[in-house]
Every structure is written in structure tokens, then in C-alpha cells.
Amino acid sequence: MENKKELRTWLDDLQLDHPLVIAGPCSAETEEQVLKIAHELKDTDVSYFRAGIWKPRTRPGMFEGVGALGLKWLQRVKAETGMKTATEVANAAHVKLALEHDVDLLWIGARSTVSPFIVQEIADALEGTDKIVLIKNPVNPDLALWLGAVERLATANIKKLGVIHRGFSTYEKTKYRNNPEWQLAIELQSKFPDLPIINDPSHITGKRDMIFDVSQKALDLNFDGLMIETHFDPENAWSDAAQQVTPSVLVQIMKDLKIRKETDQEAEYNNALNNLRANIDVIDHQIIELLGKRMNVVDGIGTLKRQKNVSILQSKRWNEILGAMVLEGQDHGLSEEFILKMFKAIHQESINHQEKIIKK
């Protein structure tokens, strides 16, 4: 797919002076619920009202959505509030029904993006559409799958494309419901700088009190918009209760976010600088996380050495590591002096860790 400025046209045409906001409940539950939320979101920054009609649940036996009936409710939302509407589609039948009911924005969910078969089926059903189509990242941290889905839809001649970053599933528990892995979103942005990218802090955090920070980070990283699950009674929502916010909280979040606009040269400079700094923050965070992981392994070795009663310092092994790292550093433009200093510091910290274990 060529990287063309036209990728942004649909977003530029909205002429917003703030990030694009898509909000509404995780699931459409009843007609009253949908309309009540929609009326509370009318006259806010929200341009697109979202509601899941078909809900892909990880385990069966939970609320799986109201189905096509909910599309009629979205039509009422549009007629009564003037907001445009958005829903998730997961197969060709959904696409057909959503188009028949004039839904304005369709998104492909994380559990669909993982399957090239289903993405192709959706792309074929949408061929040539003038609706907006957004592709959520796949549940697993695989950039190629995400890119592949973008390419399949672009090839189906869908012009109004974009992506949604909703975080990635991990085996290890983290403070997030879905780990953001910001570096993947950054990499996608650098491959397609003009493809609009929306952040979904609701599914990343899984918790409403973390939504603001993730939203701010996304804006600092130059994201174009936010999708935030909103419900008048979040606690009693039929799905994703812990992560939904009320319409008034959403309005407050939008007020508090620092939004950088590219107006003049100075602003453009600041914008570029902030963006690069946000990138550095993401990478620094990864460095610390990796060093922490390294020390966990070192501790494991310390325990083994204690059992076997062998000495901590194994200089042959250490010289091998240093030699290999100096060579690898060269490939990445890192000087020998720097590599030696850095690894000596890491080595010292490892020795300190192991000494503690052995003295125990």
C-alpha cells in the first residue's frame, strides 16, 4: 500500500479542533440505555457514537450482544442527536446489515484482526464502500497481522481507513488489561504516517481510573483520536463494567487533556519534540523492564550457584559476553567504550544481586 496523504482526508474533512472522539457503551443493551447515553453525549466533543451490537466474548455463555435489533437504535441515535454512529463488524453478514442500516463507521475487532480469512471476508463485503473502516490491533503483539489487515482493506478499495490501538494480550499479568506495547503503535505510525490512529484506553487499561493517563500518553505520541467506552451506569453495564466512564467523566477527561495543535512553526517544533520525547520515554521504560527481567534470571543463577557452592565470578563466561556485545553494538552504531561501560555496570549489579542470594 502506498503511503498517501489521502489516507487522512476523511479525518481532515471533519475539521475538528480537537482529537476525534468515539464514545458510547461497550454494548448496546436496551433501546432506552442507548438513547439515554447518546443524549448525554450530544453537544460534547464526541463525533461518533459507538455501541457493540455483536459482542465477541472470549468465553461462551456471557452476554453476546442484542444483534441486528440494535442497529435500529443506532438509527434513532443519529436522527435524534446528529451524532454519527459506529459499531463492530465481525463477518460478511454483519457488514451487510450495518451498511443497510447506514452505520457511518465500522470497526474490525481485535479478535477478528488475528484471522486473515475473516479480515478478507470483511474486506470483500466492504469493497469500495465510502464508510469509515477502522482496524483494531490483533490481540497478540504481531505487527504484521495488523499491517496485513490494513493492506487487505486498502486493496478492497476502501478509502476511509484508520487503525485503533487497543493493546495486546500477555501471558504475564500487568497493570493493564491489554499491554499497550506502544512501540508497536509507533512502528505502525512510522510505516504509515498518514494513516489515522485512534487510541482505545478503555480496552488497554480495563480500569476507568487509568484512562486519563493512557489518553494523554496517546496524544503526546501524536494519536489522532480516542475511543472511550461510556455508560450512564458503568457499574451495572452488561459488559466491560470496570472500564466504562460516565458521560460527565468523559467530558472532564476531554477538558483536562493537553491537546497540542499544529498551528504555527513554533507549535510544530514543540509538537515534533514532544513526540520524540514520548518515544524516548517508551524506550526507556522498555530498557528498565528488560534490565529487571535480566536480574530475575541472574537471581536464578545465584540460587543454582549457592546450591552447588560455586563462585559468583566466572570470568571466562563474562569475557565471552563482553566480546559478543561489543560486536553487536557496532551493528547498532554504539561505541566499544559505551558498551564496555554499560555492561560493566550491569555486571556489577548482577554480582551484587548474587552476593545477596549467596549470603542468605
| Residue 139 C-beta: closest distance to ligand PEP, Å | 7
Segment near ligand PEP (CB under 6 A); pick from 4-12, 106-114, 123-131, 318-326: 106-114
| Residue 151 C-beta: closest distance to Mn ion, Å | 26
| Residue 70 C-beta: closest distance to ligand PEP, Å | 13
Residue 26 contacts Mn ion per CB under 5 A:
yes
Q: Which is nearer to ligand PEP, 51 or 161 (CB)?
A: 51
**Among 136, 152, 177, 208, contact with ligand PEP (rule: CB under 6 A):** 136
Residue 240 contacts Mn ion per CB under 5 A:
yes
Contact 247, 41 (CB under 8 A): yes
Cα(286)–Cα(186) distance, integer angstroms: 14
Q: Which is nearer to ligand PEP, 78 or 111 (CB)?
A: 111
Residue 203 contacts ligand PEP per CB under 6 A:
yes
| Residue 26 C-beta: closest distance to Mn ion, Å | 3
| Residue 57 C-beta: closest distance to ligand PEP, Å | 9
Cα(112)–Cα(197) distance, integer angstroms: 18
Residue 138 contacts ligand PEP per CB under 6 A:
no
Phi/psi of residue 245, nearest 5 degrees:
-115, 160
Contact 22, 225 (CB under 8 A): yes
| Residue 30 C-beta: closest distance to Mn ion, Å | 17
| Residue 337 C-beta: closest distance to ligand PEP, Å | 46
Residue 109 contacts ligand PEP per CB under 6 A:
yes
State the binding partner of 109 from ligand PEP, Mn ion, none, CB within 5 to 8 A by kind.
Answer: ligand PEP
State the binding partner of 136 from Mn ion, ligand PEP, none, CB within 5 to 8 A by kind.
Answer: ligand PEP
Residues 39-58 touching ligand PEP, rule: CB under 6 A, are 52, 56
Cα(41)–Cα(39) distance, integer angstroms: 5
Kindly report the three-state secondary structure assignment for every residue of 4-55.
Answer: CHHHHHHHHCCCCCCCEEEEECCECCCHHHHHHHHHHHCCCCEEEEECECCC
Residue 160 contacts ligand PEP per CB under 6 A:
no
Residue 65 contacts ligand PEP per CB under 6 A:
no
**Among 11, 26, 105, 204, contact with ligand PEP (rule: CB under 6 A):** 26
Residue 353 contacts ligand PEP per CB under 6 A:
no
Residues that bind Mn ion (CB under 5 A): 26, 240
Binding site for ligand PEP (CB under 6 A): 26, 52, 56, 88, 109-111, 136, 166, 203
